[in-house]
Structures are given as C-alpha cells and as structure tokens.
Structure 1
Amino acid sequence: MKLDIVNFHVRDIQFGAKTEYVDGILTVNKEEALAVVKEDSHITFADLHIVKPGDEVRLMPVKEAIEPRHRVGGGPVFPGVTGKLMQAGNGTTHALKDMSVLVVGKHWGGFQDGLIDMAGEGAKYTYFSQLKNLVLVADSDELFEQKEQQKKNRALRWAGMRLAEYLGACTKDLTSTDVETYDLPALNKRGAASELPSVVMVLQPQSQMEELGYNDLNYGWDCNRMLPTFMHPNEVLDGAMISGSFMPCSSKWSTYDFQNFPMIKRLYQEHGKTVNFLGIIMSNLNVALDQKDRAALFVAQMATSLGADSAIVVEEGYGNPDADFTGCLVALENVGVKTIGLSNECTGRDGASQPLVSMDEKADAIVSCGNVSDFITLPPMKVVLGELEALGRDGLSGGWAHDEKLGPSVRPDGSIIMENNAMFCGDQVVGWSTKTMKEF
C-alpha cells in the first residue's frame, strides 16, 4: 500500500462568504457549514466558533477532535462510517494541518468528555491547545442519554465528521508540495529491510462496552465485536479507525489521534534503517476473562506468524483494560517476542492505589504516559464554550459535584480543581505525551 497525504497548513481560520483555503488562510462560510451539521434532524442546536492558541477560552464538555480531510478521487474520508465501505490507505488524501474540528456539548457531558484550555496553566495538558480549532458547539434530542453518565453522542460525533469532510473538500482542486508518503510493501517484498529486527505494533482501541454504539469503530464495525486482526498502518492513518464515545477522557484516543498516530509515523521513519516495521495487529479490550485470554492468544499467534522479533503494545484506557494490556505483554513474551507497553496510570487521589490493575513480572518494560489522578487547579477563563457545570454535574471522569475536603470541582468564580482524568485526550498514549516520571 502507498498513501500520499498532501498537507495544507492552516495559518489562520476566519468566517467569510466562501469556504476556501488561500495562502494558508481557511475561510469558512458559517451558514453552509452549519447546514452540513444540521443534515441530521437530531441536532437541535449548533453554532461554530474559532479558537486559537493563547485565547482565554475554556471548552467543556469536549467530545471529539477530527482533522479535516478530503479523499482525492472520491469516496468518504471515513469509509463505512460517513459513506460507502472502501479500502483506506491507498491513493491520495488531502489534510488541513495545524487545526482540528472540536465537538463540544452545549449542555450535557458524560464520563468520556473532557476539558480543553487554550491558554494558561491548563493549555500544557492537552495537544489541542496548540492547534487552531473550529469548534462545533451543539446539542441533540437524544433524550434517552442526556442524564446518563455514559453517552453515545452519535449525532454530535457524526456531525463533526461531516463538518471535517466539508472543510477538507475545499482543497480538492489545490496542490501542495508538502506531501507525506507512507509506502510499506508486502511482507515478502521488503528487500534489505527484511534483515533488520522486525517489530509489530499492537493497538488496543477502546472496545469494552458490550452494548453497541460506544466503542471505537474499524471501518464502521464496532470493535467490541472484533477479534484481533492484521492491518496495514496506512489504514489507521487514512480514516479506517474512528474514536468511540466511552473512555475516561485523558486516556481517550480521538479520531484526530488515529489520523496522525505519532508512534506509527515514528516506526515508519525507522523502517529500513533500524527496524522492519511489519504492521499493526488491531486487538481489542474485553470484559470477561476468557475474552481477554482469547485476544492475547490471537495476538501472540499473529506476531509469531508474521515473524516479529519485538512488539509495542499500546493501550487506550486503564483499569479493567489493564488485564488485556498485561495479558498481551505476557503472551508475546511467552512466545519469545520482546515486548514493551505504552500506557498511563491511575494511582488514586491519595497516590496509594496500584498504578496498573493487572501486573506480571514479564511486563518489565512499560512506558508511563502520565497519571490520571494528578490534581490540576485552573483559574477562571474569560470565555467558556459549552457548559462548565457539566464537569461536576454529569459524572465526567476527573470531576465531581462535591468532595468533603475539596468541595466542588467547579467553584463559584469559574476556577476548577479536577483530576488530570478530565483533560481531553490529555495523556496522549499515541505518542504526543510530554509527561515523564520522577523518582524521589
């Protein structure tokens, strides 16, 4: 497979009469863009805002982030989700870089939603404060889940994807000299790369929820119904994977993260130089122990069948998924595949809890990408997009309505105390994270 991602860097975003990209400026026709959002009759309210790094703006509850793209030659950016099922990872895709579409609830938040600050102390905790963002603030009539802690947010998330496709389409007749090429030949046609140590990446996207509609999607297929499968890395970078709605927020992988997965890109950089990058084993996270064991067996079998010398296991989430994470690490080590893991930790507010729920002596090479339990205190912001009260009212991970010692997460003056858990995609296990460990 060969994928060319043609980049159009966005220096600024503005509203105007015509949606177009000219000399680094993305102009958005707000009325047209909102019409795309409102194609779903479940959307009862929608508005668009532009936020940039350094703006004194707080976003809450943030539900999704997406990079605007356009598939050259036709077809949906997200096959099997926003359009017909087709192969991703081949051909040419245009991308509007240095920006994202953010989806924010006007009212209702949930366990999986988070916060973004575009300035101040909070900005350092999330990658998306560094981007120019077109923010969709919207509400829907999905009454059945408004006051549920766990929400599917389907109407809002799909509206974000349609909006991202609408924006990306403004590049369809343009050219750029900034082209990223991802070309990974078939396993038996690697030439000199075949003599290098081989590595496979094992991804464990969020797939715990047995009821459909909450989990990450693979070509539109709910990952809870998926057995581990081999995928070309280009598919992940080119819209095959969609973020789900369920996962404590700092551990979450947004669709933007799948589209730009830094660890995949780094392995591409090393391919043919220091390693032979075999590809992706897309696994899942399960609830029952036999399901976890079955997935680990599949992963180990695939790795050995592919001839992997080593593996990198990447976990989306923590808690129950830690058993899937360490299970894969142990299964791979048991068949002679040297393995490292990427995960975050949950030590509890008192710091006394076990960082990973499940551990094994063979899981002796784990990279920590942060602690979800770290306390963060944030001052008020001049502007709030969404509804700040959602942090405490709606059961967001990392926020609370009241604590006997700490009081509420959201204070009367608009300042906040919360756990890192509530920072949108804050730990960035995919490879953005700048967090590290310290010994005392």
Structure 2
Amino acid sequence: MRLEIGKFKVKDIVFGGETSYADGILTVDREDALKVVREDKYITDAELEIVHPGDMVRLCPIKDSVEFRCKVEGGEGAYPGVTSPLGQAGMGRTNVLDGVSLLAVGKHWGGFQDGLLDMGGEYQHYTIWGDMPNLVLVADTSEAEERHEQQKKNHAIRWGALRLAEHIAQCVRDMEPEETDVYELPPLAARDEKTKALPGVVYVLQPQTQMEALGYNTLVYGWDGNRMLPTLMHPNELLDGCLVSGSFMPSSSKISTYEFSTNPMIKKLYEQHGRTINFLGVILSTLNPKMEEKARCVQIAGQIAVAIGAQAAVVAEEGYGNPDVDYTAMLVELERLGIKTVGISDESTGRDGASQPLVSMNPATDALVTTGNVSQFYKMPAMKVIGELEALARDGNSGGWEGCINPDGSCVMENNGMFCANHISGYSRRSCSDF
C-alpha cells in the first residue's frame, strides 16, 4: 500500500476575498467558509478567528484540532465514513496544508473533555498549536440537552470543523505539492529477506473507546470504537484520516484528530523500517470499562502480535485512570508472550509528583515513557480569551473548578484541562526527572 502526502508549507493564514494558497500564505474567504459550517442546522452561531504564535490569546473550551487535507486520488475523502462515504484510506494521494491547523472552540459550553491553550506567554510551548498559526472556528449550537452535562458529544462543532478543514484544503487539490512524503509498506510476506531479518516491531494504539453510549468514542472509518475488537491495520490508514477523535477523556490525555493523522510515532517507525526494524503495522486496540472486556481485548491483541511475528511493540494509551488497567495488562501480556514492549502514556502523580503514576502497576512494565503529569499545577496570567474562560470553572472541565478564575481574568488550573497537552501521539516535549 502506497500513500503520498502532498505538502504545502503554510507560513501564515489571512482572510481575503477567495480561499487560496500561494507563496506560503493560506487565504481564507471568511463568509464562504462559514457557509460550510452553518450547513448544520444545530449550529446557531459561528465566527472565524486567526491566531499566531506569540499572540497573548487564550482559547477555551477547545473541542478538537483538525489538519487541512483533501483526498486527490485513491479514496473517497479526507475522513472516510465520517465526512464522506466509506472508502479505503491509506493509498493514492492526499494534499495537506502543512504547519497550520483548525481549532474548534465552543462559544460557551464546555465539559471535562474540553481544553484550554495559550498562544503566548509561559505556557505557549506546552502544546504544538502554540507554535503554529491556527484558524479558529468559534461556534455555538442548539444541542441544549448537552449544555449542563459534564460529558458532551459536541457533534455539531466537531463535524463542522471536519467539513471546514476539508473544504478549505480543496484550494490545493489541483496544485503540485511543494514536498511529497511517501509511505509505502509492502505486505508482510512480500518483504525482502534483509528486512525480514530485522526485529519485527508493531505499534499498539489504544484510542479512547470506554463509553458504552454511542457518539463519544474515537471513530474508526466512522464506526464507534467501543463496538470493535483489536484489529491489525496498515499504518497508512491512520495517516490518511481513518481515525476521528472522540469527545471523551480529560483534555490533556486526549489525542486530537490532527494528531491521529500526523502521528509522529508512526512516522518514526517508518523512518527506521528496513534500517533497524521491520515495521509490521498497527494493532488498533480498545479501552474498555469492564474487566472481562479488558482481558478479552488484551488476549486478542496479543495473538495478533504473535501471528505477525512481532518481537517488540510500542504501546500508546490515550487517557489515564481506568484505562491504565488496559494499558498495563497489554504490556504484561505482550511481555509474557516474549514480545519486548515500551509503553507511552501520561501519568497522574498528584501536584507534588509523589503519588502512584498509574492506577495499575506491574514489575513487567519496566520500559515506560511518560508524556506528562495530568495533575501539574499552573498559575496563568490574564490575557485575551477566544471562547469563554468561565467554561473552565463552570462546566466541569477536568482541569478547573469553581473559584479557579480570578476577578482580573487570571486563573489557576491543572494540566488535566490543557488541550491535548501531553501529546501521547509522540509530539510531547515533556519528561520525568529524578532528583
């Protein structure tokens, strides 16, 4: 399977009379773009803003981040099964506007799955979005039944962002990319003997799929991940938009749609394929609420790894708390089967860093990478807000609480509420120090 990602290197975003790309500048026709968002009858109000690195701007409550991308050949659309008919991802060519993103922000109502980020100041570099220009969709909806719920589907805003990102990317559909990344991974049996002789490595991704009710979990080709068993997938499928982020889990522990489709860990494994490893593919696993479901999932994933000849695995967990049980069990099972594992997750060690980092621990899990502490405490100065800062205190954002916002607009919060800040996808810049 061969996938080409055609890149257009965006230096800046501006508003103008026609949506277009030229010389590193993405121009967005504001009114035309908003028409796409307002196609959803549940969108009651929508605006577009542009933010740049260093702007003293705070965004809250953030629902998702999406890369601007469009399918040029070899598939149905940028997010098959979600914004387009079901079709095969991972082959042909997809054009992307590289180095920028679309951020979806609620005008008022948030929840514990929604986040906050700063474009400037001390916390600018705590997320990847603080270092890139972003188009910001700020919208409100008539999904009134969700407004006072801590857990929200955020369907209208999230789908509006997906449609808008794909619509804007159409401006480069017929253009020749400035740079093309090629991802080609032959079937296991078709690889040359030199590659087969290298250690076989599989990437085990555990996206958030714990909600038994539909509409909250990570989507796989539009299918709710809670309804799946572990599945072997080609890494190109992920890089080509087969996963859409859900609306569940405290924000810093989430993997955004942007990160699913630009996954740096997959790209790093690709870089080493044929050199130091034989990259076998992705086992897309699940996170489950019940112990029997956890055991079943781990058992099936383990047998897939054995069947494809895995000698080593990288396991990435989206979330923490209850999912730590699935995560640890996966690591232990793979080790039991003779597969060397490295785990990637964040941790919950308390504000003082002294608490047990994972709910479930085991001596077999002796190669763990931390991407951050969800309980890390922040003191944040006042700055301009896009959205509504009060959502941090009022609506159950997992990083905020009643009284966390001061009269002058400054606030305190836990890392729990910083949008996808722990970057479990592999973007994280954080580490754990012993001293």
Letter in 2 for 1:423: M
Cα separation, 2, equivalents of 1:179 and 1:72: 13
Shift of 1:352: 4.1
Shift of 1:331: 0.7
Paired position in structure 1 for 2:234: 232
1:354-393 alignment runs, 5 A limit: 354-381=356-383, 383-393=384-394
Cα separation, 2, equivalents of 1:288 and 1:217: 20
Shift of 1:434: 0.8
Equivalenced residue count is: 433
Partner secondary structure for residue 357 of structure 1: coil
Paired position in structure 2 for 1:37: 37
Paired position in structure 1 for 2:273: 271
Q: Within the alignment, does 1:164 sit opposite 2:165 as a pair?
A: yes
Cα separation, 2, equivalents of 1:226 and 1:53: 39
Partner secondary structure for residue 224 of structure 1: helix
Cα separation, 2, equivalents of 1:116 and 1:9: 23
1:4-403 alignment runs, 5 A limit: 4-73=4-73, 75-191=76-192, 192-381=194-383, 383-401=384-402
Unmatched runs of 5 consecutive residues or more in structure 1: 402-407
Q: Which runs of 4+ in 1 moved over 6 A?
A: none
| % identical equivalent positions | 57
CA contact (8 A) 2:95 2:177 kept: no
Cα separation, 2, equivalents of 1:11 and 1:228: 39
Letter in 2 for 1:393: R
Cα separation, 2, equivalents of 1:140 and 1:193: 52
Cα separation, 1, equivalents of 2:236 and 2:326: 25
What are the superposed Cα offsets for residues 377-427 of structure 1, whole Å, 9 maximum, x if unpaired? Answer: 11111x2100000001001011111xxxxxx21111111111111110100
Cα separation, 1, equivalents of 2:19 and 2:137: 16
Shift of 1:168: 0.6
Shift of 1:350: 4.8
Partner secondary structure for residue 201 of structure 1: strand
The counterpart of 2:416, out of the listed 417, 421, 433, is 421
Letter in 2 for 1:110: G
Cα separation, 2, equivalents of 1:177 and 1:19: 18
Cα separation, 1, equivalents of 2:237 and 2:249: 23
CA contact (8 A) 2:76 2:88 kept: no
Cα separation, 2, equivalents of 1:289 and 1:367: 25
Letter in 2 for 1:114: G
Cα separation, 1, equivalents of 2:135 and 2:53: 12
Partner secondary structure for residue 121 of structure 1: coil
Cα separation, 2, equivalents of 1:387 and 1:331: 45
Cα separation, 1, equivalents of 2:270 and 2:164: 30
Letter in 1 for 2:170: A
What are the superposed Cα offsets for residues 108-133 of structure 1, whole Å, 9 maximum, x if unpaired? Answer: 00010111100001212111111110
CA contact (8 A) 2:230 2:284 kept: yes
Letter in 1 for 2:368: I
What are the superposed Cα offsets for residues 267-309 of structure 1, whole Å, 9 maximum, x if unpaired? Answer: 0000000000000000000000000000000111000000000
Shift of 1:76: 1.7
Cα separation, 1, equivalents of 2:129 and 2:411: 19
Partner secondary structure for residue 390 of structure 1: helix
Letter in 2 for 1:29: D
Partner secondary structure for residue 123 of structure 2: helix
CA contact (8 A) 2:379 2:411 kept: yes
Cα separation, 1, equivalents of 2:316 and 2:326: 11
Shift of 1:86: 0.3
What are the superposed Cα offsets for residues 200-236 of structure 1, whole Å, 9 maximum, x if unpaired? Answer: 0000000010101000000000001110000000000
Partner secondary structure for residue 362 of structure 2: coil
Shift of 1:349: 3.4
Letter in 1 for 2:174: D
Letter in 2 for 1:45: D
Partner secondary structure for residue 173 of structure 1: coil
Q: Which moved more, 1:350-359 or 1:329-338?
A: 350-359
Shift of 1:437: 1.1
Cα separation, 2, equivalents of 1:429 and 1:69: 22
When the two chains are superposed, the root-mean-square deviation of aligned CA atoms in Å is 0.8
Cα separation, 1, equivalents of 2:10 and 2:310: 39
Paired position in structure 2 for 1:437: 432
Cα separation, 2, equivalents of 1:194 and 1:374: 44
What are the superposed Cα offsets for residues 133-191 of structure 1, whole Å, 9 maximum, x if unpaired? Answer: 00000010001111100100000000000000111100011112400000000001110
Letter in 1 for 2:209: S
Cα separation, 2, equivalents of 1:283 and 1:230: 9
Cα separation, 2, equivalents of 1:196 and 1:177: 33
Partner secondary structure for residue 359 of structure 2: coil
Cα separation, 1, equivalents of 2:284 and 2:335: 18
Unmatched runs of 5 consecutive residues or more in structure 2: none
Q: Which moved more, 1:341-350 or 1:247-256?
A: 341-350
